[in-house]
Amino acid sequence: MADSDLRTKVSKYMSYLLRHNPENLQMDDKGFVRLESLLRKINERFDVNEHFVKQIVCDSEKKRFEIVGEKIRAIYGHSINVEIRLPEDQTVELLYHGTTLESVSKILKDGLKPMRRKWVHLSTTEETAKEVGKRRTPNPVVLVIDAQKARKDGVKFYKATGGVYLSKEIPSKYIKILDQHFFHAKP
Read off φ and ψ for residue 129, nearest 5 degrees.
-60, -40
In this predicted structure, what is the pLDDT of residue 66?
Answer: 92
Segments forming the whole domain that contains residue 26: 3-74
The answer to whether residue 177 sits within a structural domain is yes
In this predicted structure, what is the pLDDT of residue 62?
Answer: 74
pTM: 0.75
- Asked if residues 18 and 11 have their Cβ atoms less than 8 Å apart, the reply is no
The domain that contains 165 carries what CATH number?
3.20.170.30
Domain closes at, from 31, 46, 74: 74
Total domain count, the chain: 2
In this predicted structure, what is the pLDDT of residue 148?
Answer: 96
Averaged pLDDT score across all residues of the chain: 90
Q: Distance between CA atoms of 44 and 39, rounded to whole angstroms? A: 9
Q: Which residues of the chain have pLDDT under 50?
A: 181-187
List, for residues 23-77, the tens digit of each pLDDT value.
999 999 999 999 999 999 999 999 999 999 999 999 877 788 999 999 999 988 8
- Asked if residues 96 and 178 have their Cβ atoms less than 8 Å apart, the reply is yes
90 to 93, 114, 152, 156, 168: CA distances (angstroms): 9, 21, 10, 9, 16
